[in-house]
Amino acid sequence: MLYDESEQMCNWSDEVTCKGLVQDEPTHDEHGNLLPTKEPTHSPTQKPNSLLEWNPNAYPRQHTKTIIGYYASWQWYDRNGLAEPSAFDFTKITRANFAFFQITDDGYIFGTDNWADPITLFGFYDWMSEEGTAHEYCSWDEPNSTPNCMAHKYEEGLIYQAHSAGAEVYPSIGGWSLSDPFPVMAANADSRARFAQQCVDLIKSYNFDGIDLGKSLIVLSCVCVLASLDDD
């Protein structure tokens, strides 16, 4: 089997069309002598946070309402890519809520699908990029772990698509059974502080524009009130 970039998976060789494969550079000449190496490339500069780099007025809207659309990461799998972010018109909304991120009892935040999450948010993996020449985008795949950083075709992702249309992108944290850790987390001062810091770091890491807690906010607020009461 061969890797099929269009399908982002290994596929039967007769179904794969290989284009623009990077050939290994020769290290020796025809006489067996070592060839000089290329000049080293400079590391790319850090990409600024999206709060500073995108224009919320990129698309002129005739209203001041906040129109929210939810995009669940598992929709990326639907109908052979027909539900991928580039298929949508983000000028019709002002905020895209990406579902879902989850938390631990200790207040750590991480994703729910370590394949669909980064592809949906950052675009397809760019397997043809040369190391050190392309921006890498990092996904939080496991709690309290080093993020997984890869090169992506960023302009195909939800974050770029929405920002280009002047729409915000918020991660939705919790929801349904993913909200179960909130009472335990909120009842502990250290966990609450860690969760707050994780929210800030998540925004900076992904270039999000805020945080959506939804139903989890109700659970969190109730538990915080109860935790502030004395034993009586």
What is the per-residue pLDDT across 101-116, written as a single tens digit (0 to 9) for each?
A: 999 999 999 999 999 9
Kindly provide the residue ranges of all beta strands, DSSP E only, lying in 32-94, ordered along the sequence. Answer: 68-72
Cβ burial of 104 (10 Å; 0-12, 13-18, 19+) is middle
Interatomic CA distance for residues 70 and 96, integer angstroms: 6
Which pLDDT belongs to residue 59?
85
Kindly provide the residue ranges of all beta strands, DSSP E only, lying in 77-210, ordered along the sequence. Answer: 95-103, 109-111, 136-139, 148-151, 168-173
Which pLDDT belongs to residue 120?
95
Interatomic CA distance for residues 67 and 1, integer angstroms: 45
Which pLDDT belongs to residue 231?
44
Kindly provide the residue ranges of all beta strands, DSSP E only, lying in 48-107, ordered along the sequence. Answer: 68-72, 95-103
Which pLDDT belongs to residue 197?
94
Which pLDDT belongs to residue 123?
94
Residue 170: DSSP 8-state: E
Which pLDDT belongs to residue 129?
83
Contacts 24+ apart (CB under 8 A), 177-183: 178/100, 178/102, 178/103, 178/112, 178/216, 179/215, 179/216, 179/219, 181/102, 181/103, 181/104, 181/105, 182/103, 182/216, 182/219, 182/220, 182/223, 183/219, 183/223
Do residues 6 and 84 make contact, with C-beta atoms less than 8 angstroms apart?
A: no
Which pLDDT belongs to residue 154?
93
Residue with tokens 């939705």: 172
Which pLDDT belongs to residue 62?
87
Query: Which parts of the chain sit beneath pLDDT 50?
Result: 41-49, 218-232
The two most distant CA atoms of the chain are separated, in Å, by: 89
Token pair, residue 104, equals 């631990």
Which pLDDT belongs to residue 24?
58
Amino acid at 162: A
Cβ atoms < 10 Å from Cβ of 137: 24
